[in-house]
Amino acid sequence: MTTAIAPRSRKVRVLATLGPASNTPEMIATLFQAGADAFRINMSHGDQQSKVAVIQAIRGLEREFVRPTTILADLQGPKLRVGKFDGGRTMLESGSTFVLDRDETPGDATRVELPHKEIFAAIEPGARLLLDDGKLVLRVTDHGPERIETVVEVGGPLSNNKGLNVPDVVLPMAALTEKDRSDLAFAVEQGVDWIALSFVQRPEDLAEARKLIGGKAALLAKIEKPAAIDRLEEIVEMCDGVMVARGDLGVELPPQTVPPLQKRIVETARRLGRPVVVATQMLESMIQSPSPTRAEVSDVATAIYDGADAIMLSAESAAGAWPVESVAMMNSIGISVEGDPMHGDRVHFTVMRPDPTTADALAEAAKQIAKTTSATAIICFTTSGSTARRIARERPSVPILVLTPSKETARRLGLLWGTHAVHTRDVESFEDMVGKAKRMALRTGIAKAGDRVIVMAGVPFRTPGSTNVLHVVHITGDELRDYS
């Protein structure tokens, strides 16, 4: 038995990470009903085979709830780590000298192996090396091809294989490791909708992933390296969407700089018409507590007021004690914030200037006409999803019903602000377009008898990128009876 889920009453999307606490078919369905619009599969944990059943369970929701599902596979990326210590750990004293070298001998309080030759080639005197998520700070004083000498600025305990961050230089390392290439091929074979690429430092880092994906999924760039900020606009232009990965940004940059950077990344993505996800530690306390802190709720609300397309749960839904409650809380915050009479004004603090194209002009006009005529929805017909992205970029005050003959497009739109996608056959004529728009508006509950809706499409039909029609439609309520 199928039970169609009505369009969400909020426009911001909720992206939930799956993990040990939430990867059963029953829990995935519960999270979907609680408000999850898309699911993130973290390729850093577990093997590929264990993820097959998870992907199948997500796809199974389409049959149960008659709605496209959205899957994002998040690649691990390069992981920089120091070597091992004699006895498993040591203590670094502030002010002492510490050396990182290519010697595999277990380290001590004076030195340790650094098994990443790329760092030796790129490092410069004065650069910082951050250990154990930034808890320890080293400053480079001298370096060579086999040795980096540092002074310990912030000391503390250090154990085997702890992570290393190098925030002050661009490392000559590919964003894809051999593991990532294998995971990417697996994800594409399984038909996921989005691939998230870690360790992006420059636009060129996206090229290999784009080639390997081969158009079979959308590419999302995680902005987590300071070097990426320097070339942010170029990176956003090269990808299909971006993620504000605040955890890693907060390690490599002073934490007080992350909020303005978040706003800058969101603004850039919105201006260039790319979906943007705000992620990391949004409801962190809900890993252990059934309720978030007031500060966390305000943090989520800020991302929604800024106009982010999606807000993401990490460990809260993947490994926490309250996965359903964390998704439900995200859903509730979205509904509450968007119910604020000032929400629309705040979302439009970011000024969108349409490109000089017919499609962009019509998308801007659709937003204004919907407001002036009190229309209840904007309905668009699209094959590639570009029309939906153009409309969502304008952040209209009404929901966007997307009708597409492409199942892949319908699925990818799960990360796009304000959209409810329906996979349906293409239209053949103008009259067919108007009739289908009316019927789908009634069937989904996005409009009712007496409402006006705005319809956008391209003529000739079945021609991607040809959006050139905007039509105001009045729904009488007879459309479903006339079609039966």
Residue of 17, 268, 280, 383 marked active site: 280
Residue of 8, 10, 13, 40 marked active site: 40
Place of tokens 């987590």: 224
Using CA atoms, how far apart are residues 140 and 149, in angstroms rounded to an integer? 6
What the block records as the tokens of 470 is 């905007």
What are the counts of helices (DSSP H) followed by strands (DSSP E) for the chain?
18, 21
- DSSP result, 265-299: HHHHHHHTT--EEEESSTTGGGGT-SS--HHHHHH
Q: Which residues are paired to 224 by β-bridges?
A: none
First to last CA, the chain: 22
Let me know if 81 is a catalytic residue: yes
List the one residue out of 401, 388, 380 whose CA is nearest residue 447. Answer: 401
Using CA atoms, how far apart are residues 234 and 257, in angstroms rounded to an integer? 21
Query: What are φ and ψ of residue 445, in 5° steps?
Result: 80, 10
What the block records as the tokens of 385 is 């999803």
Let me know if 448 is a catalytic residue: no
Q: Which residues are paired to 159 by β-bridges?
A: 89
Q: Enumerate residues 6+ apart whose C-beta is below 8 A from 227.
A: 169, 170, 201, 202
**Most distant CA pair in the chain: distance in Å?**
83
Edge to edge, the sheet with strand 400-404 lists 419-423, 400-404, 377-381, 452-458, 467-474
Using CA atoms, how far apart are residues 371 and 27, in angstroms rounded to an integer? 39
Our CA angle for 243, 247, 251, nearest 5°, is: 125
* Cα–Cα distance list, 247 to 126, 131, 169, 239 (Å): 24, 14, 19, 21
Let me know if 404 is a catalytic residue: no
Let me know if 280 is a catalytic residue: yes
Indicate the residue type of 116. H
Residue of 24, 59, 79, 81 marked active site: 81
Residue of 10, 51, 111, 222 marked active site: 222
Catalytic sites, residue numbers: 40, 81, 222, 280
